[in-house]
Amino acid sequence: MSQHPADTLLITLTGKDRPGVTSAIFDVLAASGVSVVDLEQIVVRRRLVLAVLVTAPSRPERLRAAVEDTAAALDMTVEVSTGTGDNRARGSGRSHVTVIGSPLSAKAMSVMAGRIADCGGNIDRIERMARYPVTAIELHVSGASPERLRTLLAVEAAHSGVDVAVQPANLLRRGVRLIVMDVDSTLIQGEVIEMLADRAGHGSEVAAVTEAAMRGELDFEQSLRERVKLLAGLEESVFDEVYDEIVVNPGARTMVRTLRRLGYRFAIVSGGFSQITDRLAEDLGIHFSRANTLEVVDGRLTGTVLGEVVDRGAKADALREFAARVGVPEEATIAIGDGANDLDMLQAAGLGIAYNARPVVQEIADTAVNVPYLDAIMYLLGISREEIEAADAEAGITTPAPPV
């Protein structure tokens, strides 16, 4: 009996993965003269699931028998079902939803999937982006607006102890982008001004003011000038001492190294000090740097800041300036920060990321990352851990093996 052109067969093969499985199935399909309409294949712990949607031949029962014989020879299970037409078109409102956990519990994934369904979203595809040192899963979702998803999932993420990022599925994610980062407690661990203050005998006093400023409780410029006064008299060599003690956050070098390979540009914008940040930029391969400059006279700090202070508004202005210099729209920028003085910058960016941030920042940013690995941000860009490690291996860079 002749088949309607819209008739299709869905062939689903499951079993132990090994070389030649996909080839064997397509040899059978090739002999029948069908066309491929859709195709998906995944491997989880060496178990393969292959789904092939093909146009139905004039004698589908013959193809069914051939596929079943091939599956039996491969010691695999196969299901062949008939239908009409192509796989349904994905709905509008397409998003990439990235879930990061350490660990990532089944309960958390259940909650995320439930909230997606509640707002009319459909999960079209799921991919693992990383399994170590965090688990990162990306969901391709259609049928729900990214804004609505972001609002719902952010609340559930906080309750479930995971990080969730929702981004519209568009070409910006694949293009060259500019990443602008805060420095203290974002790119590096700790606060440089506190390290300087320790040497001036005012460490605890400055730390308390810094924390209040980062929470947004104090005017940043005023509080900075008051704290800097306490540094007066320190020898200029203190910058070398502090720089040698700086610890870059885990994953920072990997992120910069990997994304530079893809043509990304980087900038650091800090309420800290150029005597430190300029050296960081040079050491890490960061293209642009903007920070305050401490005045030094006769080899000693005077306790004043030269020029205008890089505050909350100046950080956002710097992002826009650097974007113009790179030649990318603001929508193609990513900002990463942790304190209240980063808020304007985060809101000016196409994607604002609160990294281990204060609550006031997490509430306003587009998404929050609370794992202690800065390179986890690459999972939000659709880059997997396997791709990162493969690129490093090609460059002769070895990475620790994950636990078995």
Determine the pLDDT at residue 344.
97
Residue 162, exposed/middle/buried by CB under 10 A (0-12, 13-18, 19+)? buried
44 and 118 fall within a common domain: no
Q: Does 262 share its domain with 118?
A: no
Indicate which CATH number applies to the domain containing 152.
3.30.70.260
Identify the pLDDT of residue 302: 98
Range of the domain at 365: 179-192+231-372
Reduce the DSSP state of residue 247 to 3 states and report it: coil
Tell me, yes or no, whether 77 and 56 share the same domain. Answer: yes
Specify whether 137 is located in the same domain as 280. no
Spot the catalytic one: 17, 163, 182, 344.
182
**Residue 367: which of 191, 180, 147 has the closest Cα?**
147
Contact criterion met (CB below 8 Å) for 186 and 180: no
If asked whether residues 235 and 331 sit together in one domain, one would say yes
Contact 212, 341 (CB under 8 A): no
Whether residue 326 is contained in a domain is answered as yes
Residue 400 resides in a domain? no
Residue 91 confidence (pLDDT) above 70: no
Mean pLDDT of the chain: 92
Overall average pLDDT of the 367-378 stretch: 94
Tell me the two tokens of residue 367: 């998404």
Predicted TM-score (pTM) of this structure = 0.85
Identify whether 103 is preceded by a cis peptide bond (ω within 30 of 0).
yes
Mean pLDDT across 273-277: 98
As a whole number of angstroms, the distance between CA 223 and CA 246 comes to 23
Please tell me whether residues 67 and 162 are part of one structural domain.
no
- Running DSSP on this structure, what letter comes out for residue 184? B
286 contacts 266 by C-beta, under 8 angstroms: yes
Query: How confident is the model over 331-355, as pLDDT tens digits?
Result: 999 999 999 999 999 999 999 999 9
Count of all residues that appear for the chain in the document: 404
Whether 110 and 30 share a structural domain: no
pLDDT class of 174 with cuts at 50, 70, 90:
confident
CB 207 within 8 A of CB 191: yes
- Whether 184 is a known active-site residue: answer yes
Give the whole-number percent of the chain exceeding pLDDT 90: 83
Examine residue 74 and state whether it is found in any structural domain, yes or no.
yes
